[in-house]
């Protein structure tokens, strides 16, 4: 719970998007907005009663107090309202090699899932992973495509593009995979560097927060949030680490490790928050 809320609280403009007076009206929005506002104002603490009240308004499967929740699932619930600030759009087109027909599926996202492969031994960046995701893919062999027009499965060419990128872009590095042969979930430890500034599709983004997963397995661990104060201090923002209620400033060498994609042997970036800056410079 805390890691997801700390990531949202990192950005004042994003907190404004949760204001119930601006139309954000989920059952937990009033409590959430109160907590976010208090976190933004460091002189005000967040009371246990606030957090409890908000927890009690969440869907049943997310309010089990002692259960370690997946932070991406929780964040997705908190971002329930389809607010344009954090909503992006994608398009996947499949061209059937048999009948040459194109089939396009449009989708929206609030948290964009980015695959992290186990076979990538060399570290790569989130930009590399995004570009890789947008490369055309041939569907053949066991991956042949079931076209609506053709009687049998066909080879096909699949392309994926972003048609709209949100102002506040949440990216989840999909590290938790399932091994069908073993019947177990496992965590992919491949480092993914997360640059402070990222260019993608002629837009510029600045890294605001990183939720890290601490742990070596998919079924256990702990979440913490690194965030900066780039909102108030554009030139040389400070970075902080929020671990439940403890917040401390991050040393430069730890920040370098974070941006390189692996803070310690078991601490890996999991959910990133980038803010679009190209229109505001
Ligand atoms: Zn076809």
Give me ligand 1 centre to Cα 149, in Å: 5
Residue 156 — pLDDT band, cuts 50, 70, 90?
very high
Mean pLDDT of the chain: 85
CA 96–ligand 1 middle distance (angstroms) = 5
Which residues are CB-neighbours of 108 under 8 A, at least 6 positions away?
82, 87, 88, 89, 90
Q: 135 C-alpha to center of ligand 1: Å?
A: 21
Residue range 29-72, pLDDT digits in tens: 778 888 888 888 866 666 677 777 777 777 776 665 545 568 88
Q: What dihedral angle (degrees, nearest 10) is formed by the CA atoms of 10, 12, 14, 17?
A: 140
> pLDDT at position 136, please?
96
For the chain, give every domain's residue range. 2-276
Distance 102 CA to ligand 1 centre (A): 8
Cα 155 to averaged position of ligand 1 atoms, centre (Å): 9
Supply the pLDDT for residue 154: 96
CB neighbours of residue 240 within 10 Å: 17
Q: What percent of the chain has pLDDT over 70?
A: 90
CA 191 / ligand 1 centre spacing (Å): 39
Range with top average pLDDT, 43-57, 69-83, 205-219: 205-219
With contact defined as beta carbons under 8 Å apart, do 54 and 31 qualify? yes
The DSSP H or E segment spanning 121 is none
Min mean pLDDT across 56-60, 109-113, 130-134, 200-204 is at 56-60
Query: 101 alpha carbon to ligand 1 midpoint, in Å?
Result: 6
**Does 280 score more than 50 pLDDT?**
no
Instruction: Specify the CATH number of the domain 2-276.
Output: 3.90.70.10
CB 175 within 8 A of CB 242: no
pLDDT in tens, 11-30: 888 888 888 777 667 777 77
Asked if the model's pLDDT at residue 271 lies above 90, the reply is yes
| pLDDT for 142 beyond 60 | yes
Q: Ligand 1: distance of its center to the CA of 163 in Å? A: 25
Average pLDDT of 208-215? 92
62 C-beta neighbours (distance < 10 Å), count:
17
Q: What is the secondary structure of 70-115 as a DSSP string?
A: -HHHHHHHHT-S--GGG-EEEEEEEEETTT--EEEEEEEESEEEEE
Is residue 163 very low, low, confident or very high in pLDDT (cuts 50, 70, 90)?
very high
DSSP type of residue 45: P
More confident residue, 278 or 203: 203
Find where tokens 């260019």 sit: 199
């Amino acid at each position: 719970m805390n890691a997801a809320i700390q990531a949202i609280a990192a950005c004042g403009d994003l907190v404004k998007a949760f204001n119930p007076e601006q139309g954000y009206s989920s059952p937990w929005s009033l409590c959430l907005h109160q907590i976010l506002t208090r976190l933004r104002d460091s002189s005000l603490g967040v009371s246990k009663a606030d957090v409890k009240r908000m927890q009690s308004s969440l869907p049943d499967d997310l309010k089990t107090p002692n259960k370690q929740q997946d932070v991406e699932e929780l964040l997705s619930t908190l971002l329930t309202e389809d607010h344009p600030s954090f909503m992006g759009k994608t398009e996947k087109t499949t061209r059937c090699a048999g009948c040459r027909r194109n089939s396009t599926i449009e989708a929206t996202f609030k948290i964009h899932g980015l695959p992290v492969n186990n076979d990538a031994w060399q570290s790569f960046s989130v930009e590399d992973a995004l570009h890789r995701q947008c490369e055309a893919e041939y569907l053949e062999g066991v991956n042949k495509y079931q076209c609506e027009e053709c009687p049998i499965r066909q080879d096909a060419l699949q392309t994926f593009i972003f048609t709209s990128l949100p102002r506040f872009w949440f990216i989840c590095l999909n590290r938790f995979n399932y091994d069908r042969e073993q019947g177990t979930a496992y965590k992919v430890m491949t480092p993914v560097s997360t640059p402070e500034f990222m260019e993608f599709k002629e837009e510029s983004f600045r890294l605001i927060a990183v939720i890290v997963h601490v742990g070596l397995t998919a079924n256990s661990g702990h979440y913490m949030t690194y965030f900066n104060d780039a909102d108030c201090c554009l030139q040389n923002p400070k970075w902080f680490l929020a671990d439940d209620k403890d917040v401390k400033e991050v040393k430069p060498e730890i920040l370098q490790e974070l941006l390189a994609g692996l803070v310690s042997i078991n601490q890996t970036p999991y959910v990133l928050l980038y803010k679009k800056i190209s229109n505001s410079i």
